[in-house]
Structure 1
Amino acid sequence: MAVILASTENMPYDEWLDWRKKGIGGSDASVVCGINRYKSPVELWMDKTNQLPYQEAGEAAYWGTQLEDLVRNEFTKRTGIKVKQTNQLLQSEDYPFMLANLDGECIHPVYGKCIFEAKTASAYKAGEWDDAIPDEYILQVQHYMAVTGYKGTYITVLIGGNTFRWKFIERDEEIISMLIQLEGDFWNYVQAMVPPQLDGSEAAAKFLSERFPNSVPKSKIKLPDTAVELIQQYEDACDDVNQYTEQKQEAENLLKQMLGDNEIGTVDDRLVTWKSVSQERLDGKTLKAEHPTLYKKYANQTSYRRFSIKTAM
């Protein structure tokens, strides 16, 4: 069961963000589980421990909020199921670190009171909703059901502004048990002010690039002994990548040889294509040689940190 932690009606956005730092919300669940493509657990930990600067809501989040009423009304129009809008930040009685901010509540004919969740998605992500629901949203609504004790959730999505879909998700005790364990462990890191371990996700790599964008010239440190095992892991993975890359290139070369001048080849239910593609690109080398002043005016200097492992001399 849940208790009301705060009313979110007319609550300023920055105040709402402060309340969210008092626990783990539904949209945080996929980050804690390490499957979020855009945020790493360490980045979430920094947010919960007030180590990240304030950020305004992005365009996608803004329009998702603006379209929430439209999605809610369309769901009622199509199903006849009325949705009660909720403006409350809920907290689990049994697991106080688990918070929930529901888009609404409605009645299921079998399960009774349940959750309503409204989503919007770009047309580019339409494939993620084909006969399925993205994993991060599955975790989000299961998190909400853990907080509220409800048995189900209606989740709706407006895709590309012109495609509307909805599904009903039943409570899954196995997923909920996993969430309680992982979120509890994560919240222990927050309370102890100790960061969780980084993983191999793109979000973690992005976090490191943004956290440490520049190296101090000529600076040098002695790495701990645990670095030896990580170096071995890295080099073994590179060997595997090189092996599979060569196998991939060999298969590609042989298929191209089979195609010859043909653009398309078919076998069983597979379609192999080798198409001609024309692109216009700026010849920076020629521009620099013939118009150096113009080149310097419009050239952008970018920097990044190159990672490598070599044998010390």
Structure 2
Amino acid sequence: MTALVTPTGVVVAPPGLDHDAWLAARRAGVGGSDVAAVLGMSKYTSPIELYLDKVGELGEVPRSPELEEAAFWGHRHEPTVARVFAERTGFGVVEGPGMLAHVERPWMLANVDRFVIEQDSAPSSLLEIKTRSAFQLDEWLLGVPDGPALQTHWYLAVTGYEHAHVAALLGGNRLVIHRVTRDETLVEHLVEIVGEFWQNVLDRVPPAVDGSEATAALLGHLHQGRPNAVTVADPGDVLPLLERRRELKAREQRTADELREIENRLKYLAGGAEIVKVQGSVAYTFRQNGPLSQKRFTAAHPDLAQQYTHRVDALDTARLAAERPDEFRAHRARRLVVPKESTAA
């Protein structure tokens, strides 16, 4: 039997694996960074994307340059944050022996940032390190936000520790440290919910497609469209969705019309004033600070428009489509278009 390195954790993959081996190890279970996606609480990964990743059917999905840059700096700052955490708390901090799994549930995985030595010479808790924007400072001052809190509790579930520490570097110049005490009820719920997801992975039962932006982005990259290919779909699957889409589109239009009416009435009440007060307080403003109407400006002042017009570098998409149609098509986004129903009798 593999020796325990934490109260309930065993090593299932050593540090320093190459990328392919590390991905294979990740697909053997659910890690802390996956938990928010399982619960539908991740902005960047949906349950269906995580499922496809775990069954090896996801393929290459492009990651935004912003996320890549954030991940780069998070990795670079990790040793510094760990060192400063140790200096400010007086605790020892050590790197872990690799990827851990729960001794009884090997599908529960953890890649812990650091282990914390609070007494004697053995680790007694863990340290989760985050690097975040300064705009999130207020949220972090109140406590650990939901996503990192779920990840930390998952690591507590895997390792068996009773508490953990979370150190977040905000804006590159503010370190916030929180102690997270194990909530056994939350741990039990996470194990149950994530366990159901993992069983569905083993049984090849995908989760339902949800309405998240993460799923929309995934579906835009998941399949390369085959020109003029046809899928013959089950009417029972498609027709109710189309009907519901029509209902929502009609509601959307009604809401847009009602909102425009309300805003027009507010503009009418403002008249020539830019500020409207009610009972001594500013209720709303109607200032002339919106986007410039280039068409009206050019018509009114053609000489000035010519003076302030400059050329910009732009991709010649028409030429690209004509000369390199395959490359042009390969990088076009896929659009969902539903034909309008005929109103003819």
Shorter chain as denominator, the TM-score bin is 0.7 to 0.9
Once the two structures are superposed, residues 223-255 of structure 1 have per-residue CA deviations (whole angstroms, 9 ceiling, x without a partner) of 331333333433333344344444443443344
| TM-score of the pair, normalised by structure 2 | 0.74
1:38 aligns with 2:44: yes
> Given the superposition, is the C-alpha separation of residues 105 and 213 from structure 1 closer, same or farther in structure 2, using an over 3 Å criterion?
same
Q: What residue in structure 2 maps to residue 241 of structure 1?
A: 252
SS of equivalent residue, structure 1 residue 83: strand
> Given the superposition, is the C-alpha separation of residues 4 and 216 from structure 1 closer, same or farther in structure 2, using an over 3 Å criterion?
same
Answer whether contact 1:156 1:164 (CA < 8 A) is retained.
yes
C-alpha deviation, 1:176, in angstroms:
2.0
C-alpha deviation, 1:30, in angstroms:
0.7
Once the two structures are superposed, residues 234-287 of structure 1 have per-residue CA deviations (whole angstroms, 9 ceiling, x without a partner) of 33333443444444434433444444432575779987444443657998xx9x
Q: Which stretch shows the higher mean deviation, 200-209 or 257-266?
A: 257-266
Which of 5, 30, 41 matches 2:12?
5
Q: Structure 1: any 5+ residue segments left out of the alignment? A: 287-293
Q: Structure 2: any 5+ residue segments left out of the alignment? A: 1-7, 299-310, 319-331
C-alpha deviation, 1:79, in angstroms:
2.5
C-alpha deviation, 1:67, in angstroms:
0.9
> Given the superposition, is the C-alpha separation of residues 273 and 129 from structure 1 closer, same or farther in structure 2, using an over 3 Å criterion?
farther
Q: What residue in structure 2 maps to residue 252 of structure 1?
A: 263
C-alpha deviation, 1:108, in angstroms:
6.2
C-alpha deviation, 1:312, in angstroms:
6.5
Q: What residue in structure 2 maps to residue 82 of structure 1?
A: 92
Q: What residue in structure 2 maps to residue 290 of structure 1?
A: none
Once the two structures are superposed, residues 65-114 of structure 1 have per-residue CA deviations (whole angstroms, 9 ceiling, x without a partner) of 111111111112222233222132110123221100111122569xx922
Q: What residue in structure 2 maps to residue 306 of structure 1?
A: 336
Q: What residue in structure 1 maps to residue 302 of structure 2?
A: none
Larger gyration radius, structure 1 or structure 2? 2
Counterpart CA distance in 2 for 1:169 and 1:268 is 46
Q: How does 1:274-289 map to 2 (within 5 A)?
A: 274-277=286-289
Counterpart CA distance in 1 for 2:161 and 2:276 is 52
Q: What residue in structure 2 maps to residue 291 of structure 1?
A: none
SS of equivalent residue, structure 2 residue 28: coil
Counterpart CA distance in 1 for 2:60 and 2:222 is 15
Q: How does 1:207-246 map to 2 (within 5 A)?
A: 207-212=218-223, 214=225, 216-217=227-228, 219=230, 221-246=232-257
Once the two structures are superposed, residues 178-214 of structure 1 have per-residue CA deviations (whole angstroms, 9 ceiling, x without a partner) of 2212221221232223322211111111111112453
Answer whether contact 1:214 1:305 (CA < 8 A) is retained.
no
Q: What residue in structure 1 maps to residue 201 of structure 2?
A: 190
Paired residues in the alignment total: 302
Counterpart CA distance in 2 for 1:296 and 1:107 is 57
Which of 122, 147, 157 matches 1:136?
147
Answer whether contact 1:105 1:113 (CA < 8 A) is retained.
yes
Counterpart CA distance in 2 for 1:268 and 1:145 is 54
Once the two structures are superposed, residues 138-170 of structure 1 have per-residue CA deviations (whole angstroms, 9 ceiling, x without a partner) of 211111111112222211111221222121222
AA in 2 matched with 1:34: G
C-alpha deviation, 1:51, in angstroms:
2.2
Which of 35, 60, 75 matches 1:65?
75
> Given the superposition, is the C-alpha separation of residues 268 and 309 from structure 1 closer, same or farther in structure 2, using an over 3 Å criterion?
farther
Answer whether contact 2:32 2:109 (CA < 8 A) is retained.
yes
| TM-score of the pair, normalised by structure 1 | 0.81
AA in 1 matched with 2:45: K
AA in 2 matched with 1:81: F
Q: What residue in structure 1 maps to residue 328 of structure 2?
A: none
Q: What residue in structure 1 maps to residue 55 of structure 2?
A: 49
Q: Which has the higher contact order (CA 8 A, sep 6+)?
A: 1
Q: What residue in structure 1 maps to residue 110 of structure 2?
A: 100
SS of equivalent residue, structure 2 residue 92: coil
> Given the superposition, is the C-alpha separation of residues 297 and 176 from structure 1 closer, same or farther in structure 2, using an over 3 Å criterion?
closer
